[in-house]
Amino acid sequence: MWKIIRNGKTGSTFNIGGGNERTNINLVQTLCQVCSDFKGVDLKEILGLITYVGDRPGHDKRYVIDSSKIQSEPGWGHKISLEPDKIIIGL
């Protein structure tokens, strides 16, 4: 946010994205892995808490954010990866 405040043009709108695409279930599983590692709880126990529901009518199958503007104008870049071996806890 500070880079936008300092370097963004007044009235501009920016999309913030991590530059990767994941399915919802993949994101949930990754977050479960993070919780498992952080809390020392068995991953299978956490994954067992996932409740699957039917798809709702009109559900978008894909969401894509173009974050090139925020990278070029104010010079923002993501520092945290969602890869389990690269996730930093406690920022």
Long-range contacts of 1-4 (CB under 8 A, 24+ apart): 3/74, 3/75, 3/76, 4/70, 4/74, 4/76
- Give the span between the Cα atoms of 22 and 64, in whole angstroms: 10
Same domain for 1 and 14?
yes
Give the residue numbers spanning the domain of 50: 22-63
Same domain for 14 and 42?
no
Q: How high is the pLDDT of residue 21?
A: 77
- Quick check: is 91 in a domain? no
Q: How high is the pLDDT of residue 90?
A: 45
Same domain for 48 and 37?
yes
Number of C-beta neighbours around residue 85 at 10 A: 7
Mean pLDDT, 10 residues at a time, over the chain (91 residues)? 80 80 83 88 93 84 80 76 58 38
Q: How high is the pLDDT of residue 91?
A: 38
The residues, ordered by sequence, that sit 6+ positions from 70 with a Cβ below 8 Å of its Cβ are 4, 14, 15, 16, 76
